[in-house]
Amino acid sequence: MGCKSCTTGGCGTQRGASDGPGGEPQKTATGGCGSGGCGTGGCNKLNSFDWLSDIAMPGLKYDVVEVKFKGGRKEYYRNVHQLDLTTGDYVVVEMQSGFHIGAVSLQGELVRLQVKKKGVKINDDTKVIHRLTTPKDMERHEQAILRDLPALYRSREIIRELKLNMKLSDVEFQSDNTKATFYYSSEERVDFRELIKMLASEFKARIEMRQISLRQEAGRLGGIGSCGRELCCSTWLTDFKNIATSAARYQNLSLNPAKLSGQCGRLKCCLNYELDTYIDALRDIPTIDKPLETQKGRAYLQKTDIFRKLMWFGYGTESTWYPLAIERVLEIAELNKRGIIPESFDVLTPIGEKEPATAAALNSDLQKLDAKYATRTSKKKKKKPKGAGDKVTKPLSNGKAQ
């Protein structure tokens, strides 16, 4: 269900009425992008695709229906009246006091799987769906939605006056305006007895204070992550697991809190997505506790390319890093354990243990030198050709030269 087809203000924002061609007022338009992805209130938060909707299941249809409310909150109700429901229909459901209106988000066999996954107990005490909504019900529901934002601002002013250490993030009025739920987060215990009295007298409704974690708060408010996509906690993630800084170390990420923290102020949930893959790849990477010893000096580990199986080492006096395969690192580390210091990363034989040159190798070098100098001397001994202008002396009869 998208904003374009939503005519009831279920996402919590409205643009206001517009006039038709003849000056007649049209229906109130719903706020949002108009193409099905509302980023202002979340009519598409935590949506579930019913891939069994077109498949006829044998036996009786499961009579439990999943109903979604503001902020992506979902609860399960029994369809005891066997209403013909369609995903997206607004229904009047039973509450502890009064009634509330929500949208059908899932039904059929997928609800049975969700109930089993979340451990929800379905029995005779499970609340029921009364009926489909009427135009009068939807009018009261829209009026209740319009009270949420002013009540949030006023409640924050009261909290500041009482100097309470808490953060109020959202307010949800019940459709019959008899109850208001206030969602807040706090790192310490808050005594809000005086606050409840003031809120009850201010809004003339029964007040419920519900504490949520910072991640649940980010999921209710929504937003865009550093990856450019909508937050996982507001689109599909329902259970929040603990995330340690070791997850960033395993993935060779910079331990910068500004980059590793999400909008909730905690470590990003996506750090756990690829953690198992990195742990499997790290099993082949050796642990280097001390620098590698070579004739050139001590080489320290600078970084590790986990998937290419390369380890980069650099000498203390140089800024150049040298990539080494894991097999070569293990060979050098084993030589160092035996007290052998190789010449370099490429030549593992120490300088003092090099094999002496053989006689055949020496003779071949001498032959190359002889051939080299023989060619040079032959060039120097070449005679200069006689020219036409050279003077020729002839001997005379008396033995003197002319």
**Torsion angle in degrees (nearest 10) through CA of 261, 169, 240, 74:** -150
Rounded alpha-carbon distances, angstroms, from residue 255 to 27, 157, 248, 251, 280? 52, 38, 7, 11, 21
| Per-residue confidence band for 9, with pLDDT thresholds at 50, 70 and 90 | very low
Indicate whether 392 pLDDT > 80: no
What tokens were used for 158? 């009261």
Indicate whether 210 pLDDT > 90: yes
Average of pLDDT values for 14-18? 42
Indicate whether 243 pLDDT > 70: yes
Average of pLDDT values for 73-101? 90
Indicate whether 207 pLDDT > 90: yes
Measured distance CA(138)–CA(342) in Å, rounded: 82
Average of pLDDT values for 203-216? 92
Report which of residues 399 and 332 the model is more confident about: 332
Choose among 397, 128, 50, 74: nearest CA to 238: 74
> pLDDT per residue over 151-205, tens digit each?
999 999 999 999 999 999 999 999 988 999 999 999 888 888 899 999 999 999 9
| Per-residue confidence band for 19, with pLDDT thresholds at 50, 70 and 90 | very low
Choose among 73, 137, 103, 92: nearest CA to 2: 103
> pLDDT per residue over 342-359, tens digit each?
888 887 776 555 455 455
